[in-house]
Amino acid sequence: MSIKCKAAVIRTNKATAPYKVSQPLSIEEINISPPQANEILVQVKGAGLCHSDLSVINGSRVMPMPLVIGHEGSGEVVELGNAVNDIKIGDHVSFQFSPSCGRCRRCLEGRPQVCELAAATKGKGQLMSGGSRLTDANGEVLNHHTGVSCMSEYAVVDRGSVVVIDKSINIEDAALFGCAVMTGVGAVINTARIRPGDSVAIIGLGGVGLNGIMGAKLGGAETIIAIDIDPSKFSRAKELGATHCFDSRNNDVIEEIRDLTNGGVDFAIDLAGVIPAMNTAYQIIRYGGSVVTAGLSPINTQFSFNHSDLVAQEKSILGSYMGSCVPVRDVPRFLSLFQQGRLPVDKLIDGKIGFDDLNEGFDKLAKGEVIRQILVPGR
């Protein structure tokens, strides 16, 4: 039996800021069909406002419209498809935005975060089983956002889109582990695979970037350099583990970082998602150094580099999707580190809001006034 619930729907990416005025997200009553065999229905308890959502709103990332937005969240399982037998009703879960088929070449390599089937279905706004389970009040089909669509009171998702979490963890705060933590910490720990004593630069100090700072500290980096265009973020970066901070608007920033590190850092991690950040990252790595990028630039943007320099200095450039995480492996261990106080993700949360404040919340995110806000659908 289908259910009706409240959700944030985006129908066009043409709205201009301030979003409090233009209202790109309409709060609507939608219909959710029952979960199919390998799907579950979750009552959403928290949904993080992320720059990836903002990229959908401002049109720099193109998604099929109309769309129920939201990809970073957590909730409680309320209904199971008839083929799901390893999750129970009442379980607490964190969403993750890349389910996997377990059978394609990438999955068989142990890289479920780049599952080929998941990529194809997410690009169509569908679930892994095909099609949408969402319609609006007029019966029009609504698309799923990366198979999650958690800015809603309820979400129907593929079984593989959730990881069961310990009930002792604050379920609203657990939302961040579905994107910001995996992407930021994972880029440093899994993709770069830093070692104790390495020098690491994190470029972009949003929610993902600050998780990158924490990941570098966890990995034992000796020098952790935080880089951003907004110096107001530096105090929080230092609190979380940065040893040095640089304003990227400074014309001498590259030379100063190379001087500090005797020739450049071992790893430069782009978590900003803009080409100037990539240019900075490439110029501050040392001989044999690596650039890792988990930032998503607008579609069709290009990054160029000197090919001879890449070869002669044996540098490398690595893409990192979802922090190269295997969610069922990494989310529980990141949550354990959070419980131990070694991954203080809660320090990134600047407020919890209801649907009425959602558009304004994205204004604050776009202006850099906040790091993470959590939508609590029940507010």
Sign, Cα dihedral of 58, 64, 70, 71? negative
pLDDT at 378: 85
Q: Are 374 and 352 in contact (CB under 8 A)?
A: yes
Instruction: Determine if residue 258 is left, alpha or beta; phi over 0 gives left, psi from -120 to 50 gives alpha, anything else beta.
Output: alpha
Hey, what's the torsion of the CAs at 8, 12, 15, 21, to 10 degrees? -30
pLDDT at 33 over 90: yes
Instruction: Kindly report the length of the chain.
Output: 379
Give residue-wise pLDDT tens across range 84-143: 999 999 999 999 998 999 999 999 999 999 999 999 999 999 999 999 999 999 999 999
CA dist 350 and 346 (Å) reads: 9
CA dist 68 and 91 (Å) reads: 24
- Under the banding of pLDDT at 50, 70 and 90, the label for residue 78 is very high
CA dist 212 and 92 (Å) reads: 26
φ/ψ (deg, to 5) at 260:
-60, -40
* Percent of the chain surpassing pLDDT 70: 100
Give residue-wise pLDDT tens across range 284-332: 999 999 999 998 888 888 999 999 999 999 999 999 999 999 999 999 9
Give residue-wise pLDDT tens across range 193-221: 999 999 999 999 999 999 999 999 999 99
pLDDT at 296: 86
In this prediction, residues 265-287 reach a mean pLDDT of 97
pLDDT at 326: 95
Give residue-wise pLDDT tens across range 362-375: 999 999 999 999 99
Side-chain half-sphere CA neighbours of 180 within 13 A: 35
Q: Are 125 and 149 in contact (CB under 8 A)?
A: no
- Under the banding of pLDDT at 50, 70 and 90, the label for residue 1 is confident
pLDDT at 250: 96
The residues facing 202 across adjacent strands are 226, 269
55 closest CA partner among 179, 182, 216, 227: 179
- Write down all domains in the chain, each with its CATH number in brackets: 3-178+344-375 (3.90.180.10), 183-321 (3.40.50.720)
Q: What is the pTM of this model?
A: 0.96
Q: Are 321 and 113 in contact (CB under 8 A)?
A: yes
- Under the banding of pLDDT at 50, 70 and 90, the label for residue 10 is very high
pLDDT at 298: 83
pLDDT at 209: 98
Question: How much is the mean pLDDT over the chain?
Answer: 96
pLDDT at 299: 81
What are 23's two structure tokens? 């209202």
Calculate the CA 169 to chain-centre distance.
20
What are 130's two structure tokens? 């095909």
* Percent of the chain surpassing pLDDT 90: 96
Q: Is 167 helix (H, G, I), strand (E, B) or coil?
A: coil
